[in-house]
Amino acid sequence: MAQQSINLGTVANDGTGDSLRVAFDKCNDNFTELYNRVRSAVPSTMVGSAGDKKGDIAVDSSYVYVCYADYSGSNIWKRISLGTF
């Protein structure tokens, strides 16, 4: 899913933007997509495994892992030390 932007209208309170219900539905959809990208387990190797997708993220006490490509049998994960932040 692509990011969904909330239509704010042309001028404040002009009635041309999204209703509150539509706006918060877009917020929920955006957050659901983000939360679905965060994995509960870190990859066992930088190659990853079937089902890994570009944009997946995992975290442990020392590293952030970012998947930069869909699973292909080659290295697709980068590991970044939390000490560098």
- Bridge partners of residue 67, in order along the sequence: 77
Range of 3's domain?
A: 1-37
pTM for the predicted model, two decimal places: 0.68
Tallying the residues shown for the chain, one arrives at 85
| Shared-domain flag, residues 49 and 73 | yes
Map residue 15 onto helix, strand or coil: coil
Q: Are residues 48 and 69 in the same domain?
A: yes
pLDDT in tens, the chain (85 residues): 789 999 999 999 899 999 999 999 999 999 999 988 898 899 999 999 999 999 999 999 999 999 999 999 999 999 999 986 6
Same domain, yes or no: 33 and 69: no
Could you give the number of structural domains in the chain?
A: 2
- The pLDDT score that the predictor gives to residue 2 is 87
Q: Please indicate, yes or no, whether residues 51 and 22 belong to a single structural domain of this protein.
A: no
Residue 46 shares a structural domain with residue 14: no
Same domain assignment for residues 13 and 47 = no
Domain shared by 23 and 59, yes or no: no
